[in-house]
Chains A and B, each alone.
Chain A
Amino acid sequence: MIPGDGIGPEISAAVMKIFEAAKAPITWEERNVTAIKGPGGRWMIPPDAKESMDRSKIGLKGPLKTPIAAGHPSMNLLLRKTFDLYANVRPCVSIEGYKTPYTDVDLVTIRENTEGEYSGIEHMIVDGVVQSIKLITENASRRIAEYAFEYARNNKRMSVTAVHKANIMRMSDGLFLRKCREVAENYKDIKFTEMYLDTVCLNMVQDPTQFDVLVMPNLYGDILSDLCAGLIGGLGVTPSGNIGANGVAIFESVHGTAPDIAGMDLANPTALLLSAVMMLRHMGLHDHADKIQTACFDTIRDKKVLTKDLGGSAKCSEFTAEICRRVQDLS
């Protein structure tokens, strides 16, 4: 458990309380991941955090602050590199009770998290001309495609759509697409389609129900996953998980640290809670996951006790208590 900064500690405490009420078989080890300078001058996360993670393999993370001019890279990036978190999974399901113009959204975006346009390789060739390199490799593309199909199979999803722009970026997205096609051969039970990025965007805002699981390289994934989050109500209610090599998985809330409401018991723990539910499913504890998720959705649907960002006026602790109560009722 990495509480994070800002509202991180409050929402982490809320989640731990709800898990206790649900009697979930989880023990939490809290760690801080503020970067420190290791031997050789490279920035790294504290060794006890790394050791804890390597041992337990599963983590839950609150929002982390990226201080400007602190000298070290963003902590999220550091975590990603340390544990080789190659897949970012974001399931987007419409929440009953939180009204958005889009209802019945139920899709999952799986985004390659290590390369693509975010390789960070840029240089100024001559003054006024900048070149940024987008890197696509066979291994990374195959790995993410395999994960996508495995996820679809494990979660009983019907189809996987590869999102690309191979008409313009023939070689790079072409390679990504070829790997997806190859992997699709081994998963004949799942329907595989491919669609251009612009077509997906166009259709997504008109009718999101036609999409199921989407797999794509880094940049498209970034844009599309946030687009889908916007469809269901924003980052405050969207869960997210990062899967790494060696079985490591870190689940997190993707919203910011909200320093303006930190410590005032006003935060909405839904995003972190739903990420924790994702974590339970990943670990195979489906009953507990279902219980907590039902309790959370029921609370939001009833609209009696809601935090400010969901349209209510309750405090974080009241919201948490309500969910705990429902969880206990359901057990």
Chain B
Amino acid sequence: MAAHSAVLSASKIMNPFWVGRLGNTAKPPPAKYGGRHTVTLIPGDGIGPELLNHVREVFRFACVPVDFEMVNVNSALETDDDMNNAITAIRRNGVALKGNIETKHTLPASVKSRNNVLRTSLDLYANVMHCQSLPGVQTRHKNIDIMIIRENTEGEYSSLEHESVSGVVESLKIITRNNSIRIADYAFKLARERGRRRVTAVHKANIMKLADGLFLQCCREVASGYPDITFDSMIVDNTTMQLVSKPQQFDVMVMPNLYGNVVSNVCAGLVGGPGLVPGANYGRDYAVFETATRNTGKSIAEKNIANPTAMLLASCLMLDHLNLNDYASLIRNAVLTTMNETRVTQLCAEQCCCEVARGNLCCNLTRIHISFPAKLGNEMRVHTIHF
């Protein structure tokens, strides 16, 4: 008990501003008792539950010292109790792995998107997505390696709307100096830590002069403190045009919320689809991991065709965050090797577990069989995806 409180108080004293991103943090990961971590698991809707089951299977084979505390959120209810439980659980454990929670349009406008509520309550201000061309995946563009850092709490997603007169609706987009500086600082620190040379700010300041102008100004201010990293800016429509013709020119990109949504989806599409890219949301005290494009995938749920790669790689990011780097590398290599070898039609979770088992000398195999078409992520993209 004394040791437990000593650990907790130590963690309160040494609290780095960016949890998990700076290479070796002196702060021990939260919720670690007896050598095992507890992580909140939110299955969400659509393909979330099945993907997270695969993650649990793989963790079991690899004997990863992580226990999952499952919290279910029912998106059909109007009350917020489910969400409050989930948020409390994440506050307790510090780390979460989640599927996407559907936002039903039929509910009144006062019921906000639950994913958004989670992000703003826990102040997960940075959404980081690393888009890399993966070996074994056929795409139109090769050699893509872009890090996208997106402001996660304000901008167009502030959910502040009102109907001034019948038939006239106003929606507010909020940009603040503090948040813009915070995200720009995060971006530059991450770029420096990963040895990246260039940061590009994406904006529309020629039209939204005050709002995006403020964002751009904050980025410039922060950039002046990092002379070793080149900083430039690009207007969002030009950015999308450049992304589909020459994506190799981009290195690290930082942007407000909505443009982040567009650019991250374009990049995910460029490297092969929503089933391949993991995403991470970092705040000062908490971290939540999920697929980068946040799809519910309702139309392919329970058909055993969803691609588990994104969720598995997201769980590897989580393991890195918990300082379980060996396990993270093990699972990541297993996933990438499996993808590389099994080029064509089928990716079996069984095979993935086999690879893990080979590395770890465990012998149990479960016949979980997932199949999807040759072009990875093909099935996922044609269906209506909600979040």
Residues of chain A touching chain B, judged by Cβ–Cβ distance below 8 Å, are 100-102, 117-118, 120, 122-124, 127-139, 165-172, 174-175, 195-199, 201-207, 210, 219, 222-227, 229-231, 233-235
Cβ-defined contact, B167 with A139, below 8 A: yes
State in angstroms the CA–CA spacing of A251 and B208 once bound together.
25
Are B237 and A226 in contact, CB atoms less than 8 angstroms apart?
yes
Q: Is the CB of B262 within 8 A of A198?
A: yes
What's the nearest-Cβ distance from chain A to residue B104, in Å? Answer: 9
* A101 cross-chain contacts in B, Cβ below 8 A: 140-141, 244-245
- Alpha-carbon separation in the docked complex, A234 to B244 (Å): 10
Q: How far is the CA of A224 from the CA of B261 in the complex (A)?
A: 13
Question: Contacts of B174 on A, CB cut-off 8 Å?
Answer: 129-132
- The distance in angstroms between the C-alpha atoms of A143 and B70, with both chains bound, is 48
Q: How far is the CA of A229 from the CA of B240 in the complex (A)?
A: 10
- Selecting from B3-11, B352-360, B364-372, B378-386, the interface stretch reads B378-386
Chain A: CB-nearest residue to B212: A132
Asked if B176 and A129 make an inter-chain contact with CB atoms under 8 angstroms apart, the answer reads yes
Shortest CB–CB separation between residue B374 and chain A, in angstroms?
13
Q: Are A202 and B244 in contact (CB under 8 A)?
A: no
Query: Given contacts A118-B207, A132-B172, is CB(A203)–CB(B243) below 8 Å?
Result: no
Check if A134 sits within 8 Å of B176, measured CB to CB: no
A135-B169, A168-B156, A204-B269 given; 6 more Cβ-contact pairs under 8 Å:
A117-B173, A129-B177, A130-B176, A167-B103, A168-B116, A222-B236
Contacting pair A136 B156 (CB below 8 A): no
| Complex contact A203–B269 (CB within 8 A) | yes
CB contact between B171 and one of A136, A227, A230 (< 8 Å): that residue: A136
Contacts of B177 in A (CB 8 A): 127-129
Whether the Cβ atoms of A123 and B210 lie closer than 8 Å is: yes
Q: A128-B178, A129-B177 are in contact. Are A230 and B244 (CB under 8 A)?
A: yes
- Among A128, A137, A233, which residue has its beta carbon within 8 angstroms of that of B169? A137
Let me know if A172 and B161 touch, CB within 8 A: yes
CA distance A233 to B236 in the complex (A): 17
- Asked if B253 is at the interface of the complex by the 8 Å CB criterion, the answer is no
Complex-state Cα separation, A146 to B384, whole angstroms: 24
A-B contact pairs, 11 of them (CB 8 A): A101-B245, A132-B172, A133-B172, A134-B173, A138-B166, A171-B109, A171-B161, A174-B105, A198-B262, A227-B237, A230-B241
Q: Beta-carbon contacts of B166-200 to A below 8 Å, as 1s and 0s? A: 11111111111110000000000000000000000
Q: Which of A169, A226, A235 has the most CB of B within 10 A?
A: A169
Decide: A226 and B211 in contact? CB cutoff 8 A. no
Nearest neighbor of B181 in chain A, beta-carbon distance: A128
Q: B274 contacts which of A137, A202, A222 (Cβ < 8 Å)?
A: A202
Q: Nearest residue in A to B159 (C-beta to C-beta)?
A: A168
Max chain B CB contacts within 10 Å: which of A196, A202, A225? A202
Contact A201 B262 (CB under 8 A): yes
A197 to B387: give the CA distance in the assembly, Å: 11
CB of B72 within 8 Å of the partner chain: no
User: When the two chains form their complex, are residues B262 and A197 in contact, meaning their CB atoms are under 8 A apart?
Assistant: yes
B325 to chain A, nearest CB (A): 31
The answer, yes or no, to whether B46 is at the interface (CB within 8 Å) is: no
Q: Mark B109-121, 1 if CB is under 8 A from A, else 0.
A: 1001100100000
Within 8 Å CB of A195, what residues of B?
Answer: 384
Assess whether A128 is in contact with B240, with CB atoms less than 8 Å apart.
Answer: no
Is the CB–CB distance between B210 and A226 below 8 Å?
no
A230 touches B242 (CB 8 A): yes
Give every chain B residue within 8 A of A100 (Cβ-Cβ).
245
Let me know if B241 and A227 touch, CB within 8 A. Answer: yes
Contacts of A210 in B (CB 8 A): 382
B175 partner, pick from A132, A206, A233, beta carbons under 8 A: A132
Complex partner residue of A197 from B105, B109, B261, B382, CB under 8 angstroms: B261
Pair B141/A167 contact, Cβ less than 8 Å: no
**For residue A174, which residues in chain B have a CB less than 8 angstroms away from its CB?**
105, 109
B163 engages A171 (CB within 8 Å): yes
Q: Are B109 and A102 in contact (CB under 8 A)?
A: no
Choose one: B159, B175, B240; the contact of A223 (CB below 8 Å). Answer: B240
